[in-house]
Chains A and B, each alone.
Chain A
Amino acid sequence: MPRSAWRTLFLTAAIFGAAAGTAGAGELTVGINLPQTGPGSSFGVPMMNAVSLMPPTIGGLKVNYVALDSRTDVTQTAANTRKLISENKADVLIGEAVTPTSLAMVPIAGEAKTPLLATSAIKSLAYPVDDVRRWSFKIVPDDDTTAPPVVKYFADKGVKTIGIIGFNDAYLQVWTGLFDQLLPPTGMKVIAVESFERSATSTTPQALKLIAAKPDAIFVAAGGTPAVVPIRDLRQRGFKGIILAGHGIGLPDFIDRGGKDVEGVVMVGEPFIVWRDLPADGPYHKLAQKFVPAYQEKFKADPPIMAAHLADCTTLLEMAVPEGLKRGQPGTQEFKDGIRDALENVKGLYLNNGLLTNSATNHAGYDPSGEFVMTVKDGAFHLVK
């Protein structure tokens, strides 16, 4: 073949190759990084399921969903996030399910100036809002949001003294700090704080000490399955008062492991968990109605709260993408800036996770009025009226 023909062939191939990783013109690219395998898969699998229910078009744009498996691994997450940004030219990122991997996505998204919808619970994903975190927005409410309803519940029940038990880690400090802040005006006091080691084979001594202090209510500063251990000990050693736990227990695993011992445990959590008990004409019930039947039909199971995070991502994108289009086309920095600004300025938006009003200093702006008091009854969470 003559040399010029080779050159043409080569150039053509190069152009096609470069175009291979990008979306078509006028397409929104949503980059998703979730743990389909590894220890976080119990969260990641329902979330990935929910991804398949996300709409094909948002704001008039065709959506190109690129979902990668993080394998619950920080290194893989970093590689995935970079790939989504540079190769797939993601306009928006969604991820992850557990703390270490979620934290890993934040600086990468910030550096690439790409909005990140952070779907796990830890506050530092979007706090404080600085140059890096101005690009991350939390889908899951912080503990700060659930604290005022907790205090109000205690006050309504006539609780005067509170005992706290938790892991010997930062989460316990978060709650002792929150109580220090919120309790003084109410006249309630924390009279005992017990901690236990991660490797403790028994929490009986701490449970006994806490019971001996005779608090009216006990707050368990632990999330998920670990919270079962102190709750079980407290009940078995005869504590009959109110037990309230952090909203991290809102998982089916907790009820599974806890069995009879966690009946009656109270928590303040997201509306989605008790949507069936909420008024049928209210916003949360309607939101869940849009999402739950589709999930149930496709996956033959009730969606857990983390699946609803993706439904909330859809709602937020439907709000933000038109704003982004006013600034620029998908694939451009102006488009991403527009989405970011829209996410930052959202006011009074009803989501499965609560009522969201963000600001330049608060990217997890859930209102306490959007979180509900619920209890474990007959093996499921139910609204406490």
Chain B
Amino acid sequence: MIFWTLVVDGVVNGTIYALLAIGLVLVFVVTRVILLPQGVYVSFAALTLSQFQRGNVPGTVGLLLALGLAAFVIDLLRLRSRVTRAWLIRRVATDLALPAIMYGLVVWLVPLRPNMAVQIVLTLALITPLGPYLYRLAFQPLEQASVLTLLIASVGVYIALTVLGLVFFGPEGFMANPLSSEQFEAAGVMISGQSAIMVAVSLVMMVALWLLFDRTLIGKAMRAVAVNRIGARLVGIPISLAGEITFALASFIGAVSGVLIAPVTMVYYDTGFLIGLIGFVAAIIGGMGSYPLAVAGAIFVGLLQSFAAFWNSNYQQVVVFTTLIPILLLRSLRAPAVEEDE
């Protein structure tokens, strides 16, 4: 009985890690960025939702304005002489108008105490633009750099985001109201409605992503960029746009995960890193290239965490991260050395 409860617990946590792992793999194959701050989208989304539920204007609106402005200025400086009217109109709309509109919308809606559905939609709408802004701020200028350079940039972005998180959300932790307080029993194991929703939403997201990549033109274009960057450019696929869309998808996935875990645990401004790191372990198991393996790895990590916490709660995290070592050893022994360019 305990065994099956732990299994269910592990699988439920695993699906959240699976979403994160998919986001990580996605960003890596298209842009070669190892996005350590993926978990930060999760914690920011959770904090944003919690703030909405308390009737406060979340700090995210300030963050969005700041990042939008920064991305705009950086791009303006980078392109300088090559700025066209069309580009200017488009960027003002996405970088300055969008955060301003979101700010106004949030400030207007918060006192009206909207219901949970509206709060969730607002949260997703606030967090998703963060991805493209970060891409344009930190990673697009480094498009041609090596994976190592991009990783170092990633660490820098993580540190900056954590500090910004402290500025905009403060040091206190928050927990949101559950989406469902139901409890039901299946084969002798108690499962909460919240857990069922978490698994269902994760599965829907995975199917939707699969459909996106398999059936739509945008998805196929992104896969093309992932397979061969220069080849994709040759056939007219804009690399930086692919990068922006990828980052937007990653932040959307992170936002959904954040909304799902917000009622389950206390989230602080620095919680995201640890959650993202566990998703990272799962992505490593998938070799940072295969989605099904990443999902399987995530479920494995979830189960490992559950059973490790049961065996000795003090070593819970130690066990999870120590499994990285044998996995990396195995992979480096079996995988051939991969060339950066074709």
> Do A206 and B309 have beta carbons less than 8 Å apart?
yes
* Among A72, A206, A228, contact of B172 (Cβ-Cβ < 8 Å): A72
- Could you list 9 further interchain pairs (A-B, Cβ under 8 angstroms) beyond the known A40-B172, A209-B313, A259-B181? A39-B171, A98-B172, A198-B173, A198-B271, A200-B316, A202-B12, A212-B2, A225-B175, A229-B175
Q: How far is the CB of A379 from chain B (nearest CB, A)?
A: 15
> Do B265 and A199 have beta carbons less than 8 Å apart?
yes
Q: How far is the CB of A171 from chain B (nearest CB, A)?
A: 13
> Do A205 and B274 have beta carbons less than 8 Å apart?
no
Residues of A near B268 (CB, < 8 A) are 198-199
> Do A236 and B313 have beta carbons less than 8 Å apart?
no
> Do A225 and B169 have beta carbons less than 8 Å apart?
no
> Do B9 and A205 have beta carbons less than 8 Å apart?
yes
Q: How far is the CB of B96 from chain A (nearest CB, A)?
A: 26
Instruction: Name B residues whose Cβ lies closer than 8 Å to a Cβ of A.
Output: 2, 5-6, 9, 12-13, 16, 54, 169-175, 177, 181, 183, 190, 192, 261, 264-266, 268, 271, 274-275, 306-310, 313-314, 316-317
**Centre residue among A73, A195, A205, A257 by max chain B CB count within 10 A:** A205
Q: Is A100 an interface residue (CB 8 A)?
A: yes
Q: How far is the CB of B268 from chain A (nearest CB, A)?
A: 6
Residues of B near A38 (CB, < 8 A) are 170
> Do A199 and B274 have beta carbons less than 8 Å apart?
yes
Residues of A near B183 (CB, < 8 A) are 236
Residues A237 and B316 in contact in the complex (CB < 8 Å), given A39-B169, A198-B266, A229-B266: no
Residues of A near B313 (CB, < 8 A) are 168, 194-196, 205-206, 209
Instruction: Name A residues whose Cβ lies closer than 8 Å to a Cβ of B.
Output: 38-40, 42, 72-73, 98, 100, 168, 194-202, 204-206, 208-209, 212, 225-226, 228-229, 236-237, 257, 259
Q: What 9 A-B pairs have minimum CB-CB distances, sorted nearest first?
A: A39-B170, A205-B309, A39-B172, A205-B310, A199-B274, A204-B9, A199-B271, A194-B313, A226-B266
Residues of B near A73 (CB, < 8 A) are 170
Q: How far is the CB of B6 from chain A (nearest CB, A)?
A: 6
> Do A225 and B171 have beta carbons less than 8 Å apart?
no
Q: Which residue of A lies closest to B16 (CB)?
A: A201
A-B contacts, 24 of them at CB < 8 A, read: A39-B169, A39-B170, A39-B171, A39-B172, A73-B170, A196-B313, A197-B316, A199-B274, A201-B16, A202-B9, A205-B308, A206-B309, A208-B5, A209-B309, A209-B310, A225-B175, A225-B266, A226-B173, A228-B175, A229-B264, A229-B265, A229-B266, A236-B183, A259-B181
Residues of A near B16 (CB, < 8 A) are 201
Residues of B near A98 (CB, < 8 A) are 171-172
Q: Which residue of A lies closest to B51 (CB)?
A: A39
Main secondary structure of the interface of B (DSSP, over half): helix
Residues of B near A200 (CB, < 8 A) are 265, 309, 316
CA distance A236 to B172 in the complex (A): 27
Q: How far is the CB of B269 from chain A (nearest CB, A)?
A: 10
CA distance A72 to B171 in the complex (A): 9
Q: Which residue of A lies closest to B309 (CB)?
A: A205
> Do A226 and B175 have beta carbons less than 8 Å apart?
yes
* Among A197, A198, A204, contact of B306 (Cβ-Cβ < 8 Å): A204
> Do B275 and A201 have beta carbons less than 8 Å apart?
yes
CA distance A212 to B3 in the complex (A): 12
**Centre residue among B6, B169, B265, B268 by max chain A CB count within 10 A:** B265
Q: How far is the CB of B192 from chain A (nearest CB, A)?
A: 7
Residues of A near B190 (CB, < 8 A) are 236-237
Residues of B near A259 (CB, < 8 A) are 181
Residues of B near A237 (CB, < 8 A) are 5, 190
Q: How far is the CB of B33 from chain A (nearest CB, A)?
A: 23
CA distance A250 to B45 in the complex (A): 28
Q: Which residue of A lies closest to B198 (CB)?
A: A201
CA distance A218 to B2 in the complex (A): 19
> Do B264 and A202 have beta carbons less than 8 Å apart?
yes
CA distance A17 to B16 in the complex (A): 62
> Do A208 and B310 have beta carbons less than 8 Å apart?
yes
Residues A100 and B309 in contact in the complex (CB < 8 Å), given A201-B13, A201-B275, A208-B2: no
CA distance A236 to B183 in the complex (A): 9
**Centre residue among A73, A200, A229, A257 by max chain B CB count within 10 A:** A200
CA distance A259 to B173 in the complex (A): 19
CA distance A32 to B308 in the complex (A): 48
Q: Which residue of B lies closest to A71 (CB)?
A: B170
Q: Which residue of B lies closest to A211 (CB)?
A: B2
CA distance A199 to B12 in the complex (A): 16
> Do B306 and A202 have beta carbons less than 8 Å apart?
yes
Q: How far is the CB of B45 from chain A (nearest CB, A)?
A: 14
Q: How far is the CB of B11 from chain A (nearest CB, A)?
A: 11
Residues A197 and B274 in contact in the complex (CB < 8 Å), given A226-B266, A228-B175, A237-B190: yes
CA distance A200 to B271 in the complex (A): 9
Residues of B near A195 (CB, < 8 A) are 313-314
**Centre residue among A39, A208, A228 by max chain B CB count within 10 A:** A39
Residues of A near B310 (CB, < 8 A) are 205-206, 208-209
Residues of A near B308 (CB, < 8 A) are 205
Q: How far is the CB of A159 from chain B (nearest CB, A)?
A: 22
Q: How far is the CB of B43 from chain A (nearest CB, A)?
A: 9
Q: How far is the CB of B58 from chain A (nearest CB, A)?
A: 11
**Centre residue among B2, B169, B170, B275 by max chain A CB count within 10 A:** B170
CA distance A15 to B13 in the complex (A): 68
> Do B192 and A236 have beta carbons less than 8 Å apart?
yes
Q: Which residue of A lies closest to B261 (CB)?
A: A201
Residues of B near A199 (CB, < 8 A) are 265, 268, 271, 274-275
Q: How far is the CB of A210 from chain B (nearest CB, A)?
A: 9
Residues of B near A168 (CB, < 8 A) are 313-314
Q: Which residue of A lies closest to B181 (CB)?
A: A259
CA distance A98 to B170 in the complex (A): 12
CA distance A194 to B315 in the complex (A): 11
CA distance A237 to B4 in the complex (A): 12
Q: How far is the CB of B330 from chain A (nearest CB, A)?
A: 27
Residues of A near B181 (CB, < 8 A) are 259
CA distance A199 to B306 in the complex (A): 14
Q: Which residue of A lies closest to B167 (CB)?
A: A73
CA distance A205 to B313 in the complex (A): 8
CA distance A362 to B158 in the complex (A): 44
CA distance A196 to B173 in the complex (A): 15
Q: How far is the CB of A18 from chain B (nearest CB, A)?
A: 36
Residues of B near A40 (CB, < 8 A) are 170, 172
Residues of B near A39 (CB, < 8 A) are 169-172
> Do B6 and A205 have beta carbons less than 8 Å apart?
yes
Q: How far is the CB of B294 from chain A (nearest CB, A)?
A: 18
